[in-house]
Amino acid sequence: MDDGTAFATPRIVVGRARVFYIGPGLRLQPHRNAAATIAFGLESPFELERLEPTPQPRAQYSVALIPPGTLHHLHAHGPMGFLYLDGLSDDLAVATQRLTNGKVTDITALATDRPRAVLDAIADALGLQDPERGPDPLEATIRAVDERPQDFGRMRDAAEHAGLSESRFRHVFRQRVGMPFRRYRLWRRMAVVAKRIDAGDTLTAAALEAGFASSAHFSEAFRQMFGLSPSALLSAGAVFEFEDQKPLV
């Protein structure tokens, strides 16, 4: 596989809820993504097998939308971009409409090794914006989970934070975010590990800080969610950029 020298280094922009990857396609195994994901072939098409809910044959794409929690196998033939969408915003609905209407086609024209430039161009092409909302207790709780997922080890803690019963919280959380609380929290704990590694912690120390039982526990969860081991990503020289103080777009 030739991923091109411009994208030889994986670069990951981590925001409050959206995450963006740009870099080599790597050799991903079948996995189930947490957040809804838009995959882009930056210099050449890729192939995608959708393994559920109804198995679909391997097909070629330049850009594809992968719903949250979907088991799939992506075969990259060059550098890739992955935009993990914000479950609380209108990202999924807006992106689905744009892609269905064929308004996002020439993704290869956006290719550059500057991840912020690519992210801005893709967000503009998709029409993604950060919605303005009034006070919302559930959203405040979810954003608290975004920032410190290790503090919400039980769903009961998050439900109390939102002022809801646990059963009600379970229902409205999944309705709003599109995935169960436990899986969303796992997704956000991955960002804690990334921050700690970027700060100089070992993989083991970072995993423990994020609430994983061990580095092996974290590695298996990471592999199931992203289709490769964290050590494979780190050995490729992954570079992280964090934007905690403002939304990605």
pLDDT in tens, 28-77: 999 998 889 999 888 889 999 999 878 888 999 988 889 888 999 999 99
pLDDT in tens, 141-155: 988 988 889 889 899
pTM assigned to the model: 0.79
46 burial via Cβ count (<10 Å: 0-12, 13-18, 19+):
buried
For the chain, percent of residues with pLDDT exceeding 70: 85
Query: With 90 as the cut, is the pLDDT of residue 106 above it?
Result: no
User: Terminal CA-to-CA distance of the chain, rounded, Å?
Assistant: 32
Greater confidence (118 vs 185) lies with 185
Q: What token pair was written down for 80?
A: 């890739």
CATH fold for domain 137-227: Arc Repressor Mutant, subunit A (1.10.10)
Q: Over the range 92-116, which residues count as b (16 or more CB within 10 Å of their CB) and which as e?
A: beebeebbeeeebeebeebbebebe
The CATH homologous superfamily for domain 5-126 is Jelly Rolls (2.60.120.10)
Please compute Rg for the chain using Cα positions: 18
Tokens, residue 1: 């596989």
Please, where are the H alpha helices in the chain? Answer: 91-100, 115-126, 137-147, 155-162, 166-177, 181-198, 203-209, 215-226, 230-235
Over residues 97-124, mean pLDDT: 66
How far is residue 5 CA from its own chain's centroid? 24
